Amino acid sequence: MDPPTTETFKQKSDYVPRKCCITNRLLTSKDHAAVQINVGQVDQYGIYTNEYDVYCLSGAIRRMGESDYGLCRLGVRDGAMNARALK
């Protein structure tokens, strides 16, 4: 008989801190103006494919008024928007 194998479990933390997609800053628990936006993927006919891209924006970016331009820039980077949207 083989001796029983012992399984080692990694200590798993349930908390994963979010980062702002524009500035790469950590979003703290006290940043109540931070938002997470899920943008759905669609096929060529415009039907939702049950996939989405997650964009996190910090409260500082939103206060500066740069969140709309930053979200457009991220959309162009991921291929969801045309580059003409940035002009």
The DSSP secondary-structure symbol of 22 reads: T
Distance of alpha carbon 70 from alpha carbon 63, whole angstroms = 13
CB 45 within 8 A of CB 56: no
Question: If pLDDT is split at 50, 70 and 90, which confidence band does 9 have?
Answer: low
pLDDT at 59 over 90: yes
Per-residue confidence (pLDDT) for residue 87, from 0 to 100? 81
Which domains are seen in the chain, by residue range? 16-81 (3.30.1230.20)
DSSP 26: B
Spacing of C-alpha 79 from chain mean position: 15
Residue 49 has pLDDT above 80, yes or no: yes
- Among the ranges given (2-6, 23-27, 83-87), the one the predictor scored with the smallest mean pLDDT: 2-6
Work out the average pLDDT over 11-33. Answer: 88
pTM of the model: 0.74
